[in-house]
Structure 1
Amino acid sequence: MSSRARTAATLRSRWPNQPPASFAFVMATGIVASALLDAGWTVASWTLLWIAVGGLALLFIGLLGRLLNHTDEAVADFRNPHKGFGYLTMVAAINVVGIGFHPVAPAVTWIMAAMSIPLWLFLAYGVPLSMMLRTEIGEALRPRLLPVDGTWFLWVVSTQSLSMAAASLASGGSSVRLLSDAAVALWGVGIMLYLTLTTLVMLRLLTGGENLGGIVPTNWIFMGATAITVLAGSMILHLPSEVPVIAMAGPTVGGISYLLWAFGLWWVPLLVAFGFWRHVVRREPVRYTTALWSIVFPLGMFAVATYRFGTENHMPLVAWVGNVATWVAVAAWLAVVLGMTATFLRWVRRGTPAA
């Protein structure tokens, strides 16, 4: 074997097998940056946003390397009901970062949104189709409802991130009517997906379906989907009321958004109870995994959505809850960063990929 072939083989064997949902780090960091901006911590906000940019670039390199060096595993994850929707974190991460730059550089928001659209089309249709076709052709007797878990709500999150991007661009651009139509249409698609998946996941939880260890933290994505729907709704309500689609749909968007906000708030104690049962009652240790970012992102999204919805609709108590939630999200982000750093340092010392 030539030296070049040996080098390629070594690189292939040592390249990290990056999880599909690893872009949740960028989602979480970007939305906590937005929460800090709302709280008036501008320097900290921009610091986190640039960290998110760096993370986005590194993770795209990591994903490309995985597709080249671990192709079979990447494709298997794409068709796995518990992992495939994780790839949609790419779409949400791109748009969260793009929207973060909108106040100072709308062109960046345009570019990032344009990048995310083909990814969303491919993944939002490709992941469920690959699972349906696999079930029909290769596993005809396999139950279809069993695999549904919290990660499926990334379908909603990615769709609503596009609605947010359209609403952001409509608020300061010349194509207000077209972008407003797109924002409301995508918000509606996200709502229908949300209601469908909520029914399936609640049935699975209440009937004791297997959770593969994923009831916490992946089911926090449930609350994150609720929060991003509320945030997208509040951004739509901020658009000019004279735009026909806003005049028509505005009251519906506002009413549904408020009901979803209340439902998301109700869902938090249940998620905390799940965590208490898992880590206190069952005494499962807390270890760093990329899935922990699926807790940080919903907390940050809930903080931003609550603050902005309360501010937009002149509800000071709701806005105050959003301010309090901001610091919970910041604390969670710092805790998970410490866990990630410690895990990375152990990986460097051992020379083996981190879990």
Structure 2
Amino acid sequence: MSFLSTVKQEVKGLSPAYFALVMATGIVSLGANMLGFPTVSEMLFWANNVVFAILLLLLLSRILFFYKRFIADLTSFKKAAGFFSLVAGTCILGVQYVQQKQSFAPASVLFWFGLGTWVLLIYAFFLMTATKSDKPSLKKGISGVWLLIVVATQSIAILGTLLTRHLPFPPEQVLFFTLSMWLLGLMLYVILITLIVYRLTFFPTTPREITPPYWVNEGAVGITALAGAFFMQHISSTTGFTGFLPFIKGISLLAWATATWWIPVIVLLEIWKYLIKKTTLKYTPKYWALVFCVGGYTVATFKLSKTLSAPYLQPIPELFIYISFAVWAIVLLGMCLGIVKAFTAGSSKSEG
């Protein structure tokens, strides 16, 4: 198989959730910026811009040259929710522009692109799931990937809040919209996590079914806590919203506590899968969801420690930032080895 043929095969089979790489790199970069690693943060910022451009080009190529495969994924119960990683990755990159560069023009472009994509995906997804005649059972149809819907919704809420005074609308209207998105994301989390816990609890679960997206059980509610922390920072300066502050504080703490509870649960499931059941550890793009969730918890805890005036929380992000760096590097190594293996195998077939 020639180099070009291998590229075509990789583009054809590109995971809809691959923008989790942008999500993960962006959130780790933000954590590095907040916790005093400016060089690492800067490197990851520019790397994320390159990765975002490459993945967007690959996605457009897939739509253009492998349209049937793209539509098949878009109408799949297992894969369709992965496309929401595009929305989340776009908005997290926008947050990087605001937080790390104070550059509001590119952040605004990314916001509108993310919001437009979210509108298209959210209604197409739920129309597909409601009207499709050939539906899988709950056991086979739902997984942690579905919670990317929540992550995408909350990422729009965060970026929109940061752009409150830089969008062509009165700040009160922007904040009303982003607060509504935050509450919508919270509602979607409650609905989806109920189904996911029901599936895990009352259906037989094999090691193969414990996949990295189950980390989004934690990550989706973690980014909800992060969005709440950003609201607390911006709401006091906007007319008519100060009454929401106690409510936002309570919900943000609830979200953070839930995210904290999920971490040991998922770690124990990973131990059961890999150490007890001896499952082989193999790279998949879905591992970037794990990286995002660890990095997101780091950033959310750091922001909450500041907005809630809770310095006793500070040791948590100071530890988790190193875990985030390590997990990001390990998954990156796995991705690079996987790419080399794919092209080496293609070259061997060509020579044979």
Global fold match (TM > 0.5): yes
What is the CA distance between 1:109 and its match in structure 2? 1.1
Answer yes or no: is the 8 Å Cα contact 2:12–2:69 preserved in 1: no
- Equivalent-residue separation in structure 2 for 1:151 and 1:211 (angstroms): 17
Which residue of the partner structure matches residue 71 of structure 2? 75
Answer yes or no: is the 8 Å Cα contact 2:207–2:279 preserved in 1: no
- Equivalent-residue separation in structure 1 for 2:197 and 2:295 (angstroms): 23
Which residue of the partner structure matches residue 96 of structure 2? 100
Which residue of the partner structure matches residue 246 of structure 1? 241
- Counterparts of 1:35-54 in structure 2, within 5 Å, are 35-54=31-50
- Counterparts of 1:113-262 in structure 2, within 5 Å, are 113-135=111-133, 138=134, 143=137, 147-170=141-164, 175-208=170-203, 213-262=208-257
Q: Write out per-residue CA displacement over residues 123-179 of structure 1, whole angstroms, 9 at most, x where no aligned residue.
A: 1111121122113xx45xx54575121111011000000000111112677832122
- Equivalent-residue separation in structure 1 for 2:96 and 2:276 (angstroms): 40
Aligned length: 344
- Equivalent-residue separation in structure 1 for 2:291 and 2:10 (angstroms): 29
Assess, with a 3 A threshold, how the Cα gap between structure 1 residues 217 and 321 changes in structure 2: closer, same or farther.
same
Answer yes or no: is the 8 Å Cα contact 1:16–1:62 preserved in 2: no
Assess, with a 3 A threshold, how the Cα gap between structure 1 residues 211 and 198 changes in structure 2: closer, same or farther.
farther
- Equivalent-residue separation in structure 1 for 2:330 and 2:9 (angstroms): 31
Q: Secondary structure of 2:268's partner?
A: helix
Are 2:30 and 1:34 equivalent residues in the alignment?
yes
Which residue of the partner structure matches residue 350 of structure 2? none
Q: Write out per-residue CA displacement over residues 232-265 of structure 1, whole angstroms, 9 at most, x where no aligned residue.
A: 0000000141524531322111101101111111
Q: Secondary structure of 2:340's partner?
A: helix
**Which has the larger displacement, 101-110 or 221-230?**
101-110
Q: Secondary structure of 2:208's partner?
A: coil
Are 2:72 and 1:64 equivalent residues in the alignment?
no
Which residue of the partner structure matches residue 351 of structure 1? 346
Match of 1:87 among 83, 86, 107: 83
What is the CA distance between 1:14 and its match in structure 2? 6.7
* Matching residue's letter, 2:78: H
- Equivalent-residue separation in structure 2 for 1:209 and 1:63 (angstroms): 35
What is the CA distance between 1:325 and its match in structure 2? 1.2
What is the CA distance between 1:69 and its match in structure 2? 2.3
Which residue of the partner structure matches residue 275 of structure 1? 270
Which residue of the partner structure matches residue 333 of structure 1? 328
Q: Write out per-residue CA displacement over residues 279-303 of structure 1, whole angstroms, 9 at most, x where no aligned residue.
A: 1111111111101101000000000
- Equivalent-residue separation in structure 2 for 1:42 and 1:302 (angstroms): 19
* Matching residue's letter, 1:34: L
What is the CA distance between 1:216 and its match in structure 2? 2.8
- Equivalent-residue separation in structure 2 for 1:343 and 1:332 (angstroms): 16
- The one of the two structures with greater contact order (alpha-carbon pairs below 8 A, sep at least 6) is 2
Answer yes or no: is the 8 Å Cα contact 1:28–1:296 preserved in 2: yes
Which residue of the partner structure matches residue 316 of structure 1? 311
Answer yes or no: is the 8 Å Cα contact 1:166–1:183 preserved in 2: yes
Q: Secondary structure of 1:159's partner?
A: helix
**Which has the larger displacement, 172-181 or 277-286?**
172-181
Answer yes or no: is the 8 Å Cα contact 1:113–1:162 preserved in 2: yes
Answer yes or no: is the 8 Å Cα contact 1:177–1:243 preserved in 2: yes
Answer yes or no: is the 8 Å Cα contact 1:216–1:274 preserved in 2: no
Q: Write out per-residue CA displacement over residues 325-347 of structure 1, whole angstroms, 9 at most, x where no aligned residue.
A: 11111110011111111111122
Q: Which blocks of at least 5 consecutive residues in structure 2 are unaligned? A: 348-352
RMSD: 2.4
Assess, with a 3 A threshold, how the Cα gap between structure 1 residues 213 and 14 changes in structure 2: closer, same or farther.
closer
Q: Write out per-residue CA displacement over residues 259-279 of structure 1, whole angstroms, 9 at most, x where no aligned residue.
A: 111111111011001100111
